[in-house]
Amino acid sequence: MAAGLKAGQVTEVVAITENGYEVGCCNAKMRRSVKPATAKTVLTVQAGAFTAVQPSGSPTIEKLDIPADSKGVSFGGYEPAEAKDVDLTKAEVIVSAGRGVGKKDNIPVIAELARALGGELGASRPVVDSGWVEHSHQVGTTGQTVSPKLYVACGISGAIQHLAGMKKSDFVVAINKDKDAPIGEVADVLVVADVMQFVPALTAALQK
Ligand SMILES: Cc1cc2nc3c(=O)[nH]c(=O)nc-3n(C[C@H](O)[C@H](O)[C@H](O)COP(=O)(O)OP(=O)(O)OC[C@H]3O[C@@H](n4cnc5c(N)ncnc54)[C@H](O)[C@@H]3O)c2cc1C
């Protein structure tokens, strides 16, 4: 599209400032600003990086009749996108499992807390890479960027690539046995405890 419009193209935009479009770089450890020199720019934004604003009024819908075979374009078919089992970008509560949960068999304990809070299960990358949880649940630069009202990080250290995906959460609770874990820097509440002791107790209290 950008080539057709003779426009610049910037992908995965995470913020728009007067200096240009901000995108991640250096494995998402840093951001850089991009200011295309072209008159037009085609942007794609990182999923979840911007909070959707409720539209006001009713937009005008203009139907364009473009013959499919014009300009060498023909209709090749339609394939619906593979349905994801979860869309974390829309979740108001996310309870995420990190490597600190220890093993795959412990994931249901974290999922149970997510259910008790009416939320969804999230995960850090090692948990996904180990095959404990599907990739659609991964939060972070190579997963989803989320902004729930409540984010509960269970046994997650707070690596920059994970924080990039969840630091816009309204309220962050972290459960970690290490009181100096970097997640503490973004957490509103840091519970210093063994996650496999604390989480079942919290879930039981919520279910009472
Ligand atoms: C290009 C690139 C992209 C990446 N993308 C992502 C991404 O999208 N998402 C992502 O998450 N990571 C991503 N990573 C990986 C990231 O750098 C970290 O390695 C990862 O986030 C660490 O996951 P973790 O916090 O679960 O594990 P760890 O860093 O191993 O942390 C485990 C934490 O659990 C605590 N803990 C251990 N046992 C217990 C217990 N019994 N009770 C309570 N706490 C306990 C520990 O104190 C520790 O803080 C990426 C890395 C790169 C290079």
| pLDDT of 1 | 93
User: Residue 8: exposed, middle, or buried by beta-carbon count in 10 A (0-12, 13-18, 19+)?
Assistant: middle
Nearest to 169 by CA among 181, 192, 153: 153
| pLDDT of 69 | 67
User: Which H or E run contains 3?
Assistant: helix 2-5
pTM, two decimals, is: 0.78
Strand partners, 175: 154, 191
Q: What is the dihedral of CA 148, 153, 159, 165, to 10 degrees?
A: -20
Residue pair 107/97 in contact by the 8 Å Cβ criterion? yes
Give pLDDT tens digits for 161-197.
999 899 989 999 999 999 999 999 999 999 999 999 9
Domain 88-207 CATH class label: alpha beta
* Tokens linked to 4: 């057709």
Q: Is the CB–ligand 1 distance for residue 162 below 6 Å?
A: yes
| Per-chain mean pLDDT for the chain | 91
Give pLDDT tens digits for 71-116.
677 778 888 777 677 889 889 999 999 999 999 999 999 999 999 9
Higher pLDDT, 188 or 70: 188
Tell the residue nearest (CA) to atom 31 of ligand 1: 157
Q: How far apart are CA 38 and CA 28, in angstroms?
A: 25
User: Which of 88, 95, 99, 138 best tests ligand 1's pocket when mutated (most atoms within 8 Å of CB)?
Assistant: 99
Lowest mean pLDDT among 25-34, 44-53, 184-193: 44-53
Place of tokens 């190579």: 142
Higher pLDDT, 67 or 124: 124
Give pLDDT tens digits for 119-163.
999 999 999 999 999 999 999 988 998 999 999 999 999 999 999
Residues of the chain with CATH 3.40.50.1220: 88-207
Q: Is the CB–ligand 1 distance for residue 169 below 6 Å?
A: no
Query: Ligand 1 centre and the CA of 144: distance in Å?
Result: 15
Q: How far apart are CA 16 and CA 55, in angstroms?
A: 20
Residue 194, classed as helix, strand or coil, is coil
Q: Is the pLDDT of residue 68 over 80?
A: no
User: Which of 162, 163, 178, 180 best tests ligand 1's pocket when mutated (most atoms within 8 Å of CB)?
Assistant: 162
Residue pair 21/13 in contact by the 8 Å Cβ criterion? yes
Q: Is the CB–ligand 1 distance for residue 123 below 6 Å?
A: no
Q: Is the pLDDT of residue 49 over 90?
A: no
Query: Ligand 1 centre and the CA of 162: distance in Å?
Result: 7
Q: What percentage of the chain reaches a pLDDT higher than 90? A: 70
Give pLDDT tens digits for 111-121.
999 999 999 99
